[in-house]
Structure 1
Amino acid sequence: MADYNVTKTLDVMGEVCPVPDVETKRALKKMKAGEILEVLIDYPMSKERIPETVKKMGHEVLEVKDAGTSEWKIYIKVN
């Protein structure tokens, strides 16, 4: 498990689709290349959907990490 130099944290805990996906895309568009976005989620479908969306946008998913029971952290590097 790596420690990332997180630029921005997006907390979408308690939100269901499409909110986590839309908010992640919105946050990434405002960030610069090389910055790292940490997304906090607790909606299982977002664990699959956000990484797929991010890759299609051309960014890099560094890690999807378990953060508790039905909670995850997704680390994304902006390209």
Structure 2
Amino acid sequence: MGKRYTLDVCGEVCPMPVIKTKAMLDKMGPGEVLEVIVDYAPSKENVKRLAQSQGCKVKIEEGEKIKIIIEK
């Protein structure tokens, strides 16, 4: 498994979480993992859609905050 990154965008609303996630994914290589932490439900769907559109694997962990685990 490659490097892991964390991006905390709690308190931010779209489109910022998506823009920041895309910027991180563009810098990452295959096999690397990005964990995006959101607290705004529409951001979960938008970030998930972005990652899937780029061919990434996506796993969602729901809790007090939502973790979107993206494997490039």
Same fold (TM over 0.5): yes
How much has 1:67 moved relative to structure 2?
A: 2.6
Aligned to 1:76: 70
Supply the RMSD in Å over aligned alpha carbons.
1.6
Equivalent residue in structure 2 for 1:65, among 61, 64, 72: 61
Q: Could you say which structure has the higher helix fraction?
A: 2
Q: Indicate yes or no: 2:22 matched with 1:25.
A: yes
Q: How many residues align?
A: 72
- 1:7–1:37 CA contact under 8 A, matched in 2: yes
Instruction: After the TM superposition, list the runs of 4 or more consecutive aligned residues in structure 1 that deviate by more than 3 angstroms.
Output: none
The share of aligned pairs that are identical, in percent, is 42
Q: Please, which runs of 5 or more residues in structure 1 have no aligned partner?
A: none
How much has 1:6 moved relative to structure 2?
A: 6.1
Q: Deviations over 1:21-41 (max 9, x none)?
A: 110010001011000000010
Cα distance, 1:67–1:6 mapped onto 2, change above 3 Å: farther
Q: TM-score w.r.t. structure 2 length? A: 0.91
- 1:6–1:38 CA contact under 8 A, matched in 2: no
Q: Please, which runs of 5 or more residues in structure 2 have no aligned partner?
A: none
